[in-house]
Chains A and B, each alone.
Chain A
Amino acid sequence: MAKFGTAEVYKEMGDMLNNDDEWLNKRGTKISYSMVYDYGEPVDKAFFTRFEAGRVTEVRELESRGNIDADFVISGSTDTWRGVLTKTVDPTVALTRGQLKVKGKMATLLKNMNAFKYVIEKMSQIPLD
């Protein structure tokens, strides 16, 4: 059980992916990026994750959102993130309609969309507190 709106969710995600053969050996092999998940009010926090050839090597809550150094920053309202993690909001629709906003190279994101969708799918399996 991970507490929604905390780094626990992303640590849990890291544990799941780092023990997932399908991810490590197939789907995630090209994923070597740093990503920040930014939550609006009331959570109002941002979480940094680093992927190296699929393996999650770093997870932490950012102390400040100024000058975020990451390949991708995905930001959304608390409600949108909750919807994505509980599968009531389709992340691709949320991205299209601006409920989730992306900063970073669109071309890279799109080329790896299936891998990123797999990560979201795994995250939605995390029991939330």
Chain B
Amino acid sequence: MNEMKKGLTFILIKRFFTSILLLLLLIIFLFFLLRISPGDPVQKFVSPLLSPKLAGKVKASFGLDKPLWEQFFIFIKNLVTGNFGISYQYRLPVLDVILMFLPFTLILASVSFAIQIGTGFYLAFVTFKRRGGFLDKLLSRFSLAVYSIPTFVLALMLIYIFSVWLNILPPADLRSIEFDDLSFFGKVWDYLVHLTLPVLSLSIPGIIIYYKYLRENMDVENNKNYIKYLRSNGYDEKTVLWKHIIPNALDPVVSVAGIELGILLGGALITEVIFNLPGMGRLTINAILNRDFPLIIGCTLVSGILIITANFIADLVRFKIDKRMLVSI
């Protein structure tokens, strides 16, 4: 058993590093894609027609005047030492810029992930206990519809209902204008009020996804023979549910959770754009729009690493639940 466990951890770690290697290949591909793309990032700051000398200076400061292979060599050298270059837009090291925006994304992702998991599992349990009840019928009828609605439509609906129609929640931004004059609790309340709609619009699809997956798997397990055997032998419902049905139903849910968490950590792009929030998604979009080459690559790398880590954690959890995973890899 111990040997098998060791083998599995080895496989998982190998997988992790292969993913990292592939991410690096992707980054290199992105590097060349950006360099061969039409358009000049210097034009954002100074027009070459206005002052060719100054434009040349700016270009040299970006390191874009060197030949492509030399740029690539410098890029690789910097990557190894953990230096991603200097952002054109912010005039700061890329890592510092990312660190300014990353905490918000981490907080938003973890909060909405917790809400998704908590509510989704709770709904699945409640409807499973009262099969055929009102809530069960309602959810099974409408879960597909809610699941199909795209995020931006959901966000706009929420904004219309809560900000335009009822006028109780702010439609965008992280803080209100008079934020600095508020007391400590006022500040906390301000954040809470502003984050309600984004968190809601991020969480609702996820809640439905977890509910659907868990509920379907629980139904499948519930119809299997060993559960019928346990029931007919007089095991109480609680043991059957918690010791047998849920552990068996959890496996696919965990891998979905890994992907979901990865997407959330990579920056909830559309939500951040709609609600005007300072997170990784909007940073990346702005970097793309401003042709900020080092920042684009830095953002891709950071969110890629977060995604790979999330999947790695999901694999570990799956292994913890079910040791037979070795066969499936």
Task: Report if A and B associate in a common complex.
Answer: no
